[in-house]
Amino acid sequence: MRVALFGADGKVGAALRPVLEGAGHEVHGIEIGDPAEIAGLDAAVDFTTPDAAPGNVRAALEQGVSCVVGTTGWDPAPLGTLAEERGLRLFVAPNFAIGAVLMMRFAAEAARWMPHAEIVELHADTKKDAPSGTAKATAALMGGDPPIHSVRLPGLVAHQEVILGGQGQTLTIRHDTTARDAFAPGVLLALEKLGELPTGLTVGLEALL
Ligand code: NAP
């Protein structure tokens, strides 16, 4: 596919680009200040910032290009409506790492039996939003509104612990992203399945598995 990559020089974008190219995609990197002229491309991928993503996605949809978005900390619902109106797809996932999706699923299962739980999410100090999109999605799946604690420190990539407490016992479910290429297989899968999705907004890697 011919793919626009918004945020190509960012930490995730730089890890993603060689994997996309290695899988045979033609990547058009777009950074701040570059004209977002992408009409005719097959898809746009966005890993930028919560402030930039809505404008990038709108520009892509207005040029007839469906989107795969990893940027967290913004509400994609209004642009899902625009995608629907244009017969296009907007796929957004708070976490493209398969292990994180499994961690969320296991946490939801555990919460059925152990209702007292808290979430600790840990990310690099450069992450702009808190709590993380993954933590919010996990809490929603668990029901009961578990408290979320956010840690931002240099040296971290993306990590989350779900700690459940019961009488005389605790259960900890933990996922660690140790390198940003962890997100690449999920993005490749989203590009592969994009055309098969219903038009409008689809949220979460689990929708593709
Ligand atoms: P990052 O290193 O700060 O990279 C963001 C990049 O986007 C930077 O190169 C930035 O340029 C660029 N940018 C900012 N505004 C732009 C615009 N209008 N058009 C094009 N590019 C623009 O951040 P990151 O760690 O790669 O993370 C990016 C986003 O993905 C964050 O929201 C993060 O939370 C999210 N994320 C999601 C997942 C997932 O699985 N869903 C995984 C990891 C990260 P400058 O440096 O010049 O500002």
Whether the predicted pLDDT of 171 surpasses 90 = yes
Provide CATH code, domain 98-178. Answer: 3.30.360.10
The CB of 98 under 6 Å from ligand 1? The reply is no
Q: What is the pLDDT of residue 29?
A: 98
Helix residue ranges per DSSP H, the chain: 11-22, 53-62, 77-86, 98-113, 133-142, 184-193
CATH 3.40.50.720 segments of the chain: 2-92+182-208
Work out the average pLDDT over 125-139: 95
Work out the average pLDDT over 136-152: 96
Q: What is the pLDDT of residue 200?
A: 98
CA of 131 to the centre of ligand 1 (A): 16
| pLDDT tier at 140, thresholds 50, 70, 90 | very high
Fold (topology level) of 2-92+182-208: Rossmann fold (3.40.50)
CATH 3.30.360.10 segments of the chain: 98-178
Whether the predicted pLDDT of 158 surpasses 90 = yes
Q: What angle do CA 180, 186, 189 make, to 5 degrees?
A: 145
Whether the predicted pLDDT of 144 surpasses 90 = no
Residue nearest to atom 39 of ligand 1 (CA): 95
Kindly provide the b/e burial profile for residues 82-117, where b requires at least 16 CB atoms within 10 angstroms of the residue's own CB.
bbbebebbbbbbbbbbbebbebbeebeebbeebeeb
The CB of 134 under 6 Å from ligand 1? The reply is no
Select from 80, 61, 68, 64 the least CA-distant residue to 7.
Answer: 68
